[in-house]
Amino acid sequence: MKILFLGDIVGNSGCKAIKENLPNIIKKKKIDFVIVNGENAAQDGMGITENNTNELLNSGIDVITTGNHVWDQKETYELISRQKRLLRPLNLPNNTPGKGFEIYNSQKGFKIGVLNLMGNIFMKKCDDVFKITNQFLEKNRLGDKYDFLIVDFHGEITSEKMAVGHIFNGRATLVVGTHTHVPTNDGRILNKGTAYLTDAGMCGDYNSVIGMNTENSINKFNKKNSVKHFPSEGEASICGVIVEGNTENGLAINLSSFIFGGDLKNIE
Ligand SMILES: [Fe+2]
Ligand SMILES: [Fe+2]
C-alpha cells in the first residue's frame, strides 16, 4: 500500500504543478492514496477556495489537510461542512466547522484514517495538542476502524513535532510535519514501525521566501515598501514523502522522500 503525502501547496504555481504532474506521478510510482496539505492553495497563498479544492481532488488527491491558514478564505467555513475530503486541525475549539479526523476508503478497499493536528508553540491559539492526541489514541486504534493512519502535524517547531511522532510510534503508519514549507532530511521508521518526517516541505516555487515573492518578503523584513504577501510564480517543486504501508499491521515498511520539478532537487 503506497501513500503519497505532499506538503503545503502554495498559490497558483503549486496548484498548476499538481494539476499537470500528479496524475503521471500516481501512475509511475504506483500510488494508492494521496494526501496533501492545501492551506496555502488560494491565489494569494492564504487558505483554500472551493475551486482549488475541486481542482485538487480532480487531479487525483484523495484528502486535503490544512492548518493555521484554514479560514483565510471565508467560503471555507461553509465548504468544510459538506466537503468530507477537506480537513482542518482536530484541536481547534469545540463548535468549529468541519472535522480533524476522518476515515476514507482506498481503491483497493483499505480504510485510511487521516488525522490533522496543529502545534501550540508559535502557532495560533488552539487546544493542547498533546492532550487531544492522548484522547484520540484512547478512542482509536490501528487495525480497528482503520487499516492505516496518516497524521499531518502542522507546526512550527521541530521538538513538538518529534515528540508527537514518538507518541504515535507503533500506532500510526506515518506522522509527517507541515507548515514550515522547508523539507527536513530526518525521514525514518521509528523503532515500533511508524514512519516519521519533521517537515514535508511545500509544493511551491522555491525561488522565494517559503513560497512568497522574495523581494516583497525582504522588504517586509527591512520594514520598507512592502505590500501584502503574495506567492512567487515560478515553477513549483512538488515535495513530500511516499510511505509504503504493511497491509498486515498498518505500520510502515519503507519511507522515501519525494521531490519533483522546480528549483529543489532530490538528493540521492
Ligand atoms: Fe503553509
Ligand atoms: Fe501553516
In a domain, 196, yes or no: yes
Mean pLDDT value of segment 90-118: 97
Q: In this structure, which ligand is nearest to the CA of 6?
A: 1
In a domain, 183, yes or no: yes
With 0-12 / 13-18 / 19 or more C-beta atoms within 10 angstroms meaning exposed / middle / buried, residue 241 is buried
Q: In this structure, which ligand is nearest to the CA of 123?
A: 2
Q: In this structure, which ligand is nearest to the CA of 14?
A: 1
Number of separate domains in the chain: 1
In a domain, 30, yes or no: yes
Where does residue 179 fall: left (phi above 0), alpha (psi -120 to 50 degrees), or beta otherwise?
left
Q: Among residues 146, 138, 137, which one has the least CA distance to residue 114? A: 146
- Is the pLDDT at 266 greater than 90? The verdict is no
In a domain, 267, yes or no: no
* pLDDT band at residue 267 under the 50/70/90 scheme: low
Q: And the C-alpha cell for 14?
A: 503549486
Distance 247 CA to ligand 2 centre (A): 32
Helix (H) or strand (E) holding 97: none
Distance 246 CA to ligand 2 centre (A): 30
Distance 108 CA to ligand 1 centre (A): 31
Task: Determine the residue type at 22.
Answer: L
- Rounded CA-CA distance 114/240 in Å is 16
Q: In this structure, which ligand is nearest to the CA of 154?
A: 2
Distance 37 CA to ligand 2 centre (A): 9
Position 268 scores a pLDDT of: 52
CATH code for the domain of 205: 3.60.21.10
Distance 58 CA to ligand 2 centre (A): 23
With cell 510511505, the residue in question is: 243
- Rounded CA-CA distance 203/166 in Å is 26
| Start-to-end Cα distance in the chain | 23
Can you list the alpha helix ranges (DSSP code H) found in the chain? 11-29, 50-58, 76-82, 129-139, 158-167, 214-221
In a domain, 47, yes or no: yes
Strand order in the sheet with 63-65: 63-65, 33-37, 2-6, 238-245, 252-260
In a domain, 108, yes or no: yes
Q: Give the percent of the chain with pLDDT over 90.
A: 97
Position 111 scores a pLDDT of: 98
Which pLDDT tens digit goes with each residue over 137-177? Answer: 999 999 999 999 999 999 999 999 999 999 999 999 999 99
Domain encompassing residue 155: 2-260
Catalytic machinery residues? 69
In a domain, 131, yes or no: yes
In a domain, 237, yes or no: yes
CA Rg value for the chain: 17
Give SS3 for 82: helix
Which pLDDT tens digit goes with each residue over 14-51? Answer: 999 999 999 999 999 999 999 999 999 999 999 999 99
Which pLDDT tens digit goes with each residue over 2-11? Answer: 999 999 999 9
Residue 86 φ/ψ, nearest 5 degrees: -115, 120
Which pLDDT tens digit goes with each residue over 211-255? Answer: 999 999 999 999 988 899 999 999 999 999 999 999 999 999 999
Spell out which residues have Cβ within 5 A of ligand 1, the ion: 8, 39-40
Distance 47 CA to ligand 1 centre (A): 9
